């Protein structure tokens, strides 16, 4: 995706001596070029963002542990939370980890 927009920045003087000094007083973001007044400037900006940033990946995983390998619960709630936190940080999305129970037939 590529888009253009305008940023209008207003400034105020912070020093009336020489040299003049200015500080940002506020800004507006507009789709079309804005009118400017005294102490304002409009800057045209362009941004290009890959479409992938707007697509939510669908991840899926299934882990099967053989029944004879189960001795006691190994993954505690704290460990599940820590794994989810690390994955969330690395992937940039919310991750929820929960224990899977095989449906009974």
Structural domain spans, the chain = 2-51
- Bridge partners of 7? 29, 43
Q: What is the pTM of this model?
A: 0.46
Give me the half-sphere count of Cα atoms (radius 13 Å) on the Cβ side of residue 55: 8
User: What is the pLDDT at residue 15?
Assistant: 74
- Cα–Cα distances (Å) from 46 to 1, 4, 91, in that order, read 11, 4, 27
* Separation of alpha carbons 70 and 55, rounded Å: 38
Opening angle at CA 44, ends 43 and 45, nearest 5: 110
Q: What is the pLDDT of residues 7-58, one digit of tens each?
A: 999 988 887 777 778 788 888 999 999 999 988 999 999 999 888 888 877 7
């Amino acid at each position: 995706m590529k888009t253009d927009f305008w940023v209008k920045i207003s400034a105020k003087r912070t020093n009336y001596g020489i040299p003049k000094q200015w500080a940002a007083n506020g800004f507006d973001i507009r789709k079309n070029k804005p009118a400017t007044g005294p102490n304002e400037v409009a800057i045209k900006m362009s941004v290009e963002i890959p479409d992938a940033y707007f697509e939510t990946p669908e991840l899926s995983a299934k882990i099967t542990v053989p029944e004879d390998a189960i001795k006691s619960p190994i993954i505690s709630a704290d460990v599940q939370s820590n794994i989810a936190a690390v994955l969330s940080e690395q992937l940039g999305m919310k991750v929820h980890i929960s224990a899977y129970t095989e449906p009974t037939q």
